[in-house]
Structure 1
Amino acid sequence: MRATSPASHCRSMAATALREPAMSDPGMNLYNELHGITVPALLRRRAERYPFQLALSAQSHRGYRDRLSYAQLVMRMDAVARGLAERGVKSGERIALFLSNSAVREAVLTALGCYRLGAIVAPLNVRGADEELRHALTLVEPAFIVTTADAAERLRSLYPAARMLMLGGAPYAGDGWPDPELEFHRAALPENECAETPTVLLFTSGTTARSKAVTHCHRSQLFCGYAIGGAIGLSNRDTYQGAWPIFTSSVLNMACMSAWVYGASVVLEETPLDNAGRLHLIETEGTTVYHGVTSPLHFMIDEYQRGGYDLSRVRRIAYGGAAMPAEVIEKFRERLPRADQVHVWGMTETGPAGTYLAPWFLPRKAGCIGAAQPGCSVRVVDEDGAPVSTGESGELLFSGPAMALGYFRNPEATRETFVDGWVRTGDIGRMDEEGHFHFVDRKKDIINRGGLKISSAAVEDVIYRFAGVSEAAVVAIPHAGLGEDVAACVVAAAGVTLDTGALQAHCARHLADYATPRRWFILPALPKNPMGKILKRELRDALLLQLQGQEAA
């Protein structure tokens, strides 16, 4: 297998079996519409078709929620682009964002301004440590950093070469962000019509090692929106809301593009926002489709049960990031009977487009990640890259126009992951007789106990069935004779005391003897990234230190 360049990727797509709508399907017209256009071009088309329809609801750093129609959004995009150009931003330069969702309005408008100018936006993790931020800034080499005044000094110390553009500064100030409501410029804007022009650098979640920057372009962003928006069934009558940090692929690539490709409205949540605030926002915005990570959704549906919230407009719940426990699926079915559920799977390198499990397969196929999303192709291969038979496990590969260009300034990693028009995901899965995919585990999370391979995800699924377990993570720990053994880390539900002996017996009834955890750790919480994904690398490191301490004692 050979690595694929962006140009050869475009040529190879014609020979790739993609999941596309039938030629008579209206979705085919949309699929064709997106070919060869840019994000600003799409927004101009939506502004012509739906000028007064809500396009974006987002929190401003000034403390209010801005609600912009499609026509207003295009005007703001051009105004920010002109303001950035006046400050010296040039096509091809990188502009870093160091903003939380309390300023998600400013973050999204900056990104759109960069797209309009041909610059590249790079959102940074506001919860990152200095070492992580220094790595990101050194890799990206931004010409400018958009941030708040209280973070500017820290960022200057980490990367002195960049100019700061601070929110809340005086209008027209050289070190201030160009707020389109306070500044008016007449600068001419370039026409960037190439869909392959890089637009955004999105850092991988960092659950395994030092994060890489994934390079996306207009084409991949738009087709990510086509894939995910189609999978969850968005239309121009929908209001689409979710809890997504701006520095992940979930805001700029998934949420905004899914809504705007289908002419829907997107509601971005601010930070901090508790579950009560989230439910109130769903109510006041008239949200019809809510999308979140599985773990926070569990807590949200419990809060819904306690409060008097009106979610009568919600017709669909979408989730991803991890398998949704069957118990939580049932809670949503009971408490929000009018809202069906869709499970989506993807990763930053794939858009994050990927697969989806349609509502009518639940609850029968709970835990299954479903079929390829519109415009996408997924297959399962062995270690040599050959397709495996139905029911056999192998690595999941993704292909489609939503896939990224590669890793920024990392040709070796690009060659390893982007191969012959396919993304090697590092996820182990299998396909069943109905053509649906099942996530087995991350390659790195497979436990090798004396030569017997154990899926940590399968063990976690059994643990979640035990009453009183709020969260669970299964990892490998060293074993002198077997190489690795199975350790289970669990968090008890509020007011519950867990009995590890009973947990062990429960697992023994449902798992092979070698897959039953030998070590149990009851923890107050599990380490997570900002999207709510459990950081197993940190968990393994913490357990290793604890075990080494016990041996030393």
Structure 2
Amino acid sequence: MYHKSMFPDLPVVPEANVHHLLFNRPDQQAWPDYTLYVNATTGKRWSFRQFVERVRDGATVLGTDIEQGGLGITLEKGEIVGILSENCLEYIALLHSLLAIAVPFAMISGYSTPFEFKHAVSLSQATRIFVSPSLLPLALTSGIPDDRIYMLEGHIEGRLSYEDLVNRARRNRMPRLPVKHATRDTLAYLVFSSGTSGLPKAVMISHGNLTNSFLQVKVVTQEVNKFQEPPVWNGPNGMQVLFNVLPIHHTYGLHISCFRAFFSPLTVVLLPKWDVNAFLNAIPKFRATTLYLVPSLVHQLVHRPEFQVADLSTVQIVHCGAAYLPVSLSQTLLSRFTGLERISEGYGMSESTISIANKPVPGVLNGRAKNKPGSTGVLLPGIEVKVVREDGTLAAVNEPGELHVRSGCVALGYRNNPKATKETFVNGWLRTGDRIRIDEDGVLFFEDRAKDTLKVSGLQVSPVEIENTLLVHPDKLIIDASVAGVSGGRTLDERIPRAWVVLSPEGHKLGASATMAKLDAWVRESLSKYKWLRGGIEVVDIIPKSPTGKVLRRQLVENYEHGKKAIQAKL
């Protein structure tokens, strides 16, 4: 059956650049000047007014014609700007400058191998790149002209930086460029999402998608404010302090770091890269009130001795997303915080801009929106879904099936991948590939992933991508391969990649053990760490397949898990 959000409908989404909603609202005129962003490692701080001025000066110099001292970057020229960096304040300023001039950007993972990076650049058709100093050698392999590769932060002799460009606009007193017009369907950015088709896909998010997502937050906040007084925050001067350690190139980290700060006055503290000790030390130092985590980080935290003695007294809210958080892990985390009643959780994906459902604040909508243990929450405003059986018919209440989503938040599609777009975006519906059950109260429960994609450390991993990597080993050691998720992750529900391979004559000649060692080394060289075969490699005589040629991954996994349990039982 069909299910619609129980929240009030969204306002009409305007045909406008999302920059106006983020920076040009009347209520912002009364905001004080306060610390908006802090780099937890360097201590660099920007106030709200400083940041807004930097964004506007950046937009001006990026979009102004070359003859007038700018870079002449425009949407009309087909420009797409790649960003390759760890978390930093300049990353956020740059992307807002680009949104203001309606030039799309592609956020490329700083953890990319050379192979993954070249694929991302090719797929996105990036015409320029802004890069952090540590990743400059990788950026120089892009094939993009050298004079179109800029530093995002820091200074390197002979290479322009975002800071240099902003200073140029100020020094030359360039006339401010007005915000460029954008429609609901104007491309805002590309974020990379793995799927069953193998290599990462570039999800196209529009200005309208972002506006829809932000209006969802507005409607939910209005409903919560009807029965609940605004919280009194423990941060400096009574401010809310968001602490984000998640990478900005990931949808979850992007929205926390770059967008949430413009709904109401608050401070965002950024950690460039995840480091447990730096994270725990920064919480009391910056009086963090709100934490954003993923289950794998939660697992690391609760098993670290330092976490048991850390000063967490300022924390009032903990959000966890990107993957399902087991109830046992949630309870363990909760036990370390005084006054924290629950962990805020939700369900979403890059193809839906960010969120589809969230666990509601208890009492919202006069108690109609239920917060049930083990659930992923209720549908956000403006979201309509249907649960579909394998035969295409609609599932009943409490019956699992694939979740299909219809909303203004659903992405435009995948860039330069019409096949995947046609398979995933069907007649206005987004096929999530996830098996979901919706109960009689409209509460969603995650059952499992209908598609083969794994979630490792909150990041998507495509088995097909790993299979293809194994099959192109230069020594041609195997003739067939299958990859699937097996137990052994940091949480009970997390699955890690394991490969089953069929040896070629060259592989037989080398021997099974030596072949597996070579294949493992090849994967480690070719793919990011979270895609490594932590579940191991097994040599088999044949990969089981259905009559239609579909690999029977479940059979491989069940045989492995059964054998693993049998061995454990003997110990």
Q: TM-score if structure 1 supplies the norm length?
A: 0.71
SS at match of 1:424: strand
Aligned to 1:79: 57
Residues matched between the structures, number: 456
Structure 1's 246 and 366: CA in aligned 2 closer, same or farther, altered over 3 A? Answer: same
Out of 97, 116, 120, which is 2:83 matched to?
97
- Picking from 117, 138, 143, the partner of 2:127 is 143
Query: What is aligned with 1:369?
Result: 376
Cα distance between partner residues in 1 of 2:501 and 2:141 = 44
Measure how far apart 1:282 and its partner are.
3.0
**Cross-structure match for 1:223:** 212
Cα offset, 1:117, TM superposition: 1.3
Please give the alpha-carbon distance, in whole angstroms, between the structure 1 residues aligned to 2:136 and 2:245: 26
Does residue 401 of the first structure (1) align with residue 408 of the second (2)?
Answer: yes
Deviations 1:24-81 (A, max 9, x none): xxxx7xx4386444332121227733532547424399x3332321x33221111111
- Which residue matches 1:345? 347
Given candidates 416, 421, 429, the residue that maps to 2:428 is 421
Residue 543, structure 1, aligned to residue 532, structure 2: no
Distance (whole Å) between structure 2 residues aligned to residue 113 and residue 47 of structure 1: 21
Q: What's the offset of the Cα at 1:207?
A: 8.1
2:479 maps to what in 1? none
The residue aligned with 1:166 is: 151
Deviation at residue 133 of structure 1 after TM alignment: 0.7
Q: Which runs of 5+ in 2 are unaligned?
A: 64-69, 232-238, 364-368, 455-483, 503-523, 543-559, 561-571
Q: TM-score, normalised by structure 2?
A: 0.69
Query: What's the counterpart of residue 19 of structure 1?
Result: 5
* 1:271–1:168 distance in 2 versus 1, CA, 3 Å: closer
Q: Which moved more, 1:298-307 or 1:37-46?
A: 298-307
The residue matched to 2:72 in structure 1 has which SS? coil
Q: 1:539 to 1:423 in 2, by over 3 A?
A: farther
- Residue 214 of structure 1 corresponds to which residue in structure 2? 203
Q: Are the aligned partners of 2:501 and 2:537 in contact in 1 as well (CA < 8 Å)?
A: no
Give 1:18 deviation, angstroms: 5.0
RMSD over aligned Cα atoms: 4.1
Instruction: Summarize the Cα distance change of 1:296–1:50 in structure 2 as closer, same or farther, 3 Å threshold.
Output: farther
* Contact 1:138–1:159 (8 Å) recurs in 2: no
- TM-aligned CA deviation for residue 178 of structure 1: 3.8
One-letter identity of the residue aligned with 2:399: E
Identity %: 22
In structure 2, distance between residues paired with 1:193 and 1:170: 33
**1:87–1:477 CA distance, 2 compared to 1 (3 A):** closer
Task: Give the conservation status (yes or no) of the 8 Å contact 1:344–1:355.
Answer: yes
2:101 matched residue in structure 1: 117
Q: Does 1:244 align with 2:246?
A: yes
What SS is found at the alignment partner of 1:397? strand
Indicate which of 162, 167, 172 corresponds to 1:177.
162
Shift of 1:539: 5.0
1:186-210 deviation per Cα after TM superposition (whole angstroms, max 9, x unaligned): 1442432324221111011468720
**CA 1:273–1:207 in 2, change beyond 3 Å: closer, same or farther?**
farther
- Paired with 2:399 and 2:338, the residues of 1 have a C-alpha distance of 36
Conservation of the 8 A alpha-carbon contact between 2:245 and 2:292: yes
Q: Confirm or deny that 1:192 pairs with 2:192.
A: no
- Matching of residues 514-525 of structure 1 within 5 Å: none
Alpha-carbon contact 1:171-1:178 (below 8 Å) kept: no
Aligned-partner Cα distance in 2 for 1:289–1:338? 13
Contact 1:393 1:429 in 2 (8 A): yes
Q: Give the match for residue 440 of structure 2.
A: 433
**Local SS of the residue matching 1:182:** helix
Once residues 121 and 435 of structure 1 are traced to their aligned partners in structure 2, the CA distance between those partners, rounded to angstroms, is 37
Q: Which amino acid aligns with 2:182?
A: C
CA distance in 1, matches of 2:115, 2:528: 20
What residue identity is the alignment partner of 1:68? S
Q: Secondary structure at the match of 1:433?
A: coil
